[in-house]
Copies of this chain bind each other. A is one copy, B any other.
């Protein structure tokens, strides 16, 4: 891309450079949900049409977009912008969990939905947040783990199948 811009599109390169500099100057973190935002509060947090009793905790803005794409969530978010990862030297303080705490206790949040990844780091982060929120009077839930929609047992790994079996639930038909 660099060669193409330098040889064929020097004006485009100028525009790209300006855009990147502009983004660096204007895009900051939303004071409520911590995602990228041009204003102090992002549009989603400012919206009165979202359910402010639900707070979904995700690792990255991309994960937030994935949740939005399901079109089945109307609550608010908190974006960690990271995850606890001891092997990489990232602890609870490094991802600002104290700000998450402040956010939960500040608003009218009744349920915190942990939607961190089902990786070791995501699980560790979910555990830590749950411990932090214990005895704070908010419900803490975790998105379900199991066989994917459309999934066939034959192609599912045994770890997932074992979990799906362990977390089986009463079936109403």
A70 with B144, Cβ < 8 A, contacts A58-B153, A139-B170, A152-B117 known:
no
Query: Oligomeric state, in number of copies?
Result: 2
Contact B115 A158 (CB under 8 A): no
Tell me what chain A mostly uses at the interface: helix, strand, loop, or mixed. Answer: mixed
Partner of A150, one of B69, B73, B159: B159
**What residue in chain B is nearest A170 (Cβ atoms)?**
B141
**A58, A157, A168: which has the most chain B beta carbons within 10 Å?**
A168
Partner of A141, one of B67, B139, B158, B171: B171
- Interface flags for A120-144 (1: CB within 8 Å of B; 0: not) read 0010001100110010000111111
Does A172 have its Cβ within 8 Å of any Cβ on chain B?
yes
Interface size on A, as a range, is 35 or more
Q: Which residues of B contact A144 (CB under 8 A)?
A: 144-147, 163-169
In Å, the complex CA distance between A152 and B123 comes to 11
Q: Which residues of B contact A161 (CB under 8 A)?
A: 66-67, 69-70, 143
